[in-house]
Amino acid sequence: MRHLMNALDLSTDEIGRLIDLAERIMNDPDRYADVCKRKKLATCFYEPSTRTRLSFEAAMLNLGGQVLGFSSADSSSAAKGESVADTIRVISHYADICAMRHPKEGAPLVASIHSGIPVINAGDGGHNHPTQTLTDLFTIKILKGHFDNLTIGLCGDLKFGRTVHSLIQAMVRYSNVTFILISPEELRIPDYLRKDTLLANRIKFKEVSVLEDVLPELDLLYMTRVQRERFFNEEDYIRLKDSFILDAKKMSLAPKDMLVLHPLPRVNEIATEVDSDPRAVYFKQAGFGVYIRMALILTLLGLDD
Ligand code: CP
């Protein structure tokens, strides 16, 4: 039995196979419509979600399986004090696979230790979000065609942004990738990522605070939301929340083939006028998430053949 806690749990070969399978599913969905008949996915979400939970559920339904679960801690027995360990022990009797989101870093890992079924980390605090990373990689592969030789701008909340942390860790394994890290001083990437991932692997990167200055250099711009729920202090959130707003004027500085990705939800950081720019692919990206999650469910259930 295998779990997915971190994008790095998968080798680049395994990620390549998942992406190939997701592409085959996307091109011929009917072929996979009954593959998970009589299988059940439990979605245990202790924190709000639209895309991750519903795309997991859509993925299992598209595969002919069924879904059950809860969408907030308040609507589960966590509200009565039940531990994650006990919850997953019980859910192991009800479902064949579980996607879990939790505000506490490491909670899905604890669940995996006590689980009788594969557990997928669907986002744990400010730590990791591996299926968002798989979605991002699938989007890059489909729309750019390759992972090597890319200059990637990551903009916004790089301190608490788990999608950013997972994406950097995944992308450093490809050749000649350069990162431009665009954030206010207070929201720079955590030290461990700078030292253990970027410096340790001799990855080219720079940290800047003005988006306009670097836009002409980018192949990809990964925008992120400043996350109110991760701040201890409302004043800091209000001061930093509108640090970067991508609008049509700024897009005019970017290369014609630069793609704009965003894990969503968006708040103010991308003006809605950018949505009609063909380089804005964040809604397509959310759609691609269904296919890669279908591929992941099949793989973890051993049904990928
Ligand atoms: N990208 C993402 O994780 O979105 P949700 O919080 O809506 O699941």
**For 164-191, how does the pLDDT look when each residue is reduced to its tens digit (9 = 90+)?**
999 999 999 999 999 999 998 888 999 9
- The whole-angstrom separation of Cα 122 and Cα 130 is 7
Work out the pLDDT band at 52, boundaries 50, 70, 90.
very high
**What pLDDT does residue 28 have?**
97
Work out the pLDDT band at 149, boundaries 50, 70, 90.
very high
Work out the pLDDT band at 214, boundaries 50, 70, 90.
very high
Say what the pTM is. Answer: 0.94
Q: Is the CB of 52 under 6 A from ligand 1?
A: yes
Q: How far is CA 80 from each of CA 22, 68, 77, 85, 144, rounded to the nearest angstrom?
A: 39, 20, 5, 14, 48
How is residue 203 annotated by DSSP? -
Q: Which atom of ligand 1 is nearest to the CA of 53?
A: 8
38 pLDDT more than 90: yes
Q: Do residues 156 and 244 touch, judged by C-beta distance below 8 A?
A: yes
Over residues 84-112, the mean pLDDT reads 97
Q: Is the CB of 283 under 6 A from ligand 1?
A: no
Over residues 20-36, the mean pLDDT reads 98
230 pLDDT more than 70: no
Determine the residue type at 64.
G
243 pLDDT more than 90: no
CA angle, 53 as apex, 50 and 55 as ends, to 5°?
90
Mean pLDDT value across the chain: 95
Which of 68-72, 82-86, 144-148, 265-269 comes out lowest in average pLDDT? 265-269
Q: How far is the CA of 265 from the centre of ligand 1 (A)?
A: 6
- Of the chain, the percentage scoring pLDDT greater than 70 comes to 97
Q: How far is the CA of 104 from the centre of ligand 1 (A)?
A: 16
Q: Atom 5 of ligand 1 has which residue's CA nearest to it?
A: 49
Residue of 189, 187, 196 whose CA lies nearest to 152: 189
Q: How far is the CA of 49 from the centre of ligand 1 (A)?
A: 5
Residue of 247, 222, 59, 45 whose CA lies nearest to 151: 222
Determine the residue type at 58.
A
Over residues 80-89, the mean pLDDT reads 97
